[in-house]
């Protein structure tokens, strides 16, 4: 029983916030971890039930407690959320507004942030895309081959072959959501702040056909200009010209390297796609 609010139907899950991209429907458990459980619907929609230690996200339903140890389903007909048949308390739930595309771009502090990012990012993250010398941190063999492929993909993206670059990155690398997918999500989000980002965005998303629903949801959100709370806070600070370095650890703390890979993609796109005629 423990802290499972599902084990006793009388005790409700209390919902703190619901992401603005959470859609009505019936969802079934896809994968669960200590503080998050992923669900997909029959038509491929995605939601993530997360514990109070996590923050809002476009598809996140944030609970005020831990994530129940569940094997069941979620039925959503907002504002009603049923978790394994028990109606959750959504009376105090806020809607998390994940849109970042309205933020003022420019991001003058991005160069300073990149410096700090490179200091903190894990050696095996795709920070490699921003500093090729980091390839030395990848062991000869599988890791080095992966690193070389990432650099090749980056060269394609920089050269305007967005679909080609995306295909090499999609599904490549470490982790439950492969590093390349996280990187692509960062690239996709960045295109919203670039002068002619739309063609790049369409080409990249079109080429990235992940069958991992978690990766796909992250890329879809980025394509639509949406981001989870740690990323939104960071971008908001940057857009206001504030020092965002204190917000960096929260993003880097997402997964083993997911946050770092996402940011690598974001910064990379900013640096590489800005050139005239590229996008």
Partner 1 sequence: MLTKGIIRKGEYFDSVALMNAAKELGSVKGVVDSAVVMGTKENRSILQNSGLLLPEFANSGDADMLIAVKAENEAAVKAALEKLDAILSKKKTSGKTAEARPRSLDAAVESLAGANIALISVAGRYAGALAMSALRRNLHVMLFSDNVSLQQEIKLKQFGRDKGLLVMGPDCGTAIINGIPLAFANVVGRGSIGMVAAAGTGLQEVSCIVSNEGGGVSQAIGTGGRDVKKDVGGIMFLEGLKALVADKDTKTILLVSKPPYPAVMEKIAAQAAKTDKPVVAVFLGGDKAVGENAGLACAGTLKEAALLALAVDSFGGKKSKRTVLAAASKDLKARLAADDKKLKAQAKKLSAQVGKGRKFVRGLFSGGTFCTEAQLVMGEVLGKVHSNVPLDPGLKLADSLKSVENTVIDLGDDEFTVGRPHPMIDYALRCKRIVAEGANKDVAVILLDVVLGYGSHLDPLSELLPAIAAARKGGGKGIVFVASVTGTDADPQSRAKVLKGLQDAGVAAYGFNADAAAVAGYIAGFAGGAK
Residue selected from 20, 26, 29, 69 as contacting partner 1 according to rule CB under 8 A:
69
Site string for partner 1, 165-204 (x = CB under 8 A): --xxxxxxxxxxxx-x------------------------
Helix axes 258-272, 110-120, angle to 10 degrees: 140
Q: Which residues pair with 47 in a beta bridge?
A: 39
Nearer to partner 1, 24 or 176 (CB): 176
Residue selected from 87, 142, 195, 206 as contacting partner 1 according to rule CB under 8 A:
142
Q: What is the C-alpha to C-alpha distance for residues 278 and 38, in angstroms, rounded to an integer? A: 37
Nearer to partner 1, 198 or 243 (CB): 243
Residue 267's CB: how many other CB atoms inside 10 A?
A: 23
Size of the site for partner 1 (CB under 8 A): 63
Nearer to partner 1, 59 or 174 (CB): 174
Residue selected from 21, 158, 191, 257 as contacting partner 1 according to rule CB under 8 A:
257
Residue selected from 250, 271, 274, 278 as contacting partner 1 according to rule CB under 8 A:
250
Q: Is 25 in the site for partner 1 (CB under 8 A)?
A: no
CB of 121 to partner 1, least distance (A): 6
Cβ-contact 170, 207 below 8 angstroms: yes
Question: How far is residue 43 from each of residues 23, 36, 49, measured CA to CA in Å?
Answer: 11, 21, 18
Residue 191, C-beta contacts closer than 8 angstroms, at least 6 positions apart: 197, 198, 200, 201, 204, 269, 273, 279
Length of the chain as a residue count: 279
Q: What is the C-alpha to C-alpha distance for residues 41 and 148, in angstroms, rounded to an integer? A: 37
Nearer to partner 1, 194 or 231 (CB): 231
Stretch that binds partner 1, among 71-79, 115-123, 220-228, 267-275 (CB under 8 A): 115-123
Stretch that binds partner 1, among 74-82, 97-105, 122-130, 269-277 (CB under 8 A): 122-130
What the block records as the tokens of 82 is 């049923």
CB of 194 to partner 1, least distance (A): 25
Q: Is 245 in the site for partner 1 (CB under 8 A)?
A: no
Nearer to partner 1, 11 or 73 (CB): 11
Residue selected from 45, 54, 204, 279 as contacting partner 1 according to rule CB under 8 A:
54
Q: Is 265 in the site for partner 1 (CB under 8 A)?
A: no
- Per-position b or e across 122-143, b if 16+ CB within 10 A of its CB: eebbbbbbbeeebeeebeeeeb
Contacts 24+ apart (CB under 8 A), 200-207: 200/162, 200/269, 200/273, 200/278, 200/279, 203/162, 203/163, 203/166, 204/162, 204/163, 204/165, 204/166, 205/166, 206/163, 207/162, 207/163, 207/164, 207/166, 207/167, 207/170
CB of 231 to partner 1, least distance (A): 15
Please give the residue ranges that form the binding site for partner 1 (CB under 8 A): 1-3, 5, 11, 16, 31, 33-34, 51-55, 63-66, 69, 92, 120-124, 139-146, 149, 167-178, 180, 210-212, 233, 237, 246-247, 249-250, 252-253, 255-258, 260
């Amino acid at each position: 029983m423990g802290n499972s609010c599902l084990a006793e139907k009388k005790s409700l899950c209390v919902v703190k916030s619901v992401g603005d991209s959470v859609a009505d429907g019936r969802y079934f458990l896809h994968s669960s971890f200590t503080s998050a459980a992923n669900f997909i619907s029959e038509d491929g929609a995605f939601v993530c039930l997360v514990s109070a230690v996590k923050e809002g996200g476009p598809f996140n339903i944030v609970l005020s407690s831990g994530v129940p140890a569940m094997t069941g389903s979620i039925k959503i007909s907002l504002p009603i959320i049923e978790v394994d048949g028990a109606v959750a308390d959504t009376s105090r739930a806020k809607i998390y507004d994940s849109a970042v595309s309205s933020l003022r771009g420019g991001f003058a502090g991005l160069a300073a942030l990149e410096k700090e990012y490179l200091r903190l990012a894990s050696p095996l993250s795709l920070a490699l895309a921003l500093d090729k010398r980091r390839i030395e941190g990848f062991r000869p063999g599988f890791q080095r081959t992966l690193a070389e492929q990432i650099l090749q993909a980056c060269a394609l993206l920089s050269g305007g072959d967005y679909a080609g670059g995306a295909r090499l990155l999609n599904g490549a690398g470490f982790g439950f959501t492969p590093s390349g997918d996280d990187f692509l999500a960062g690239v996709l989000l960045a295109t919203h702040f670039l002068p002619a980002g739309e063609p790049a965005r369409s080409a990249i998303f079109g080429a990235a056909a992940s069958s991992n629903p978690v990766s796909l949801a992250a890329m879809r959100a980025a394509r639509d200009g949406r981001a989870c709370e740690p990323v939104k806070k960071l971008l908001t600070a940057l857009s206001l010209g504030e020092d965002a370095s204190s917000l960096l650890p929260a993003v880097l703390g997402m997964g083993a390297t997911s946050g770092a890979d996402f940011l690598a993609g974001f910064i990379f796109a900013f640096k590489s796609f800005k050139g005239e005629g590229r996008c």
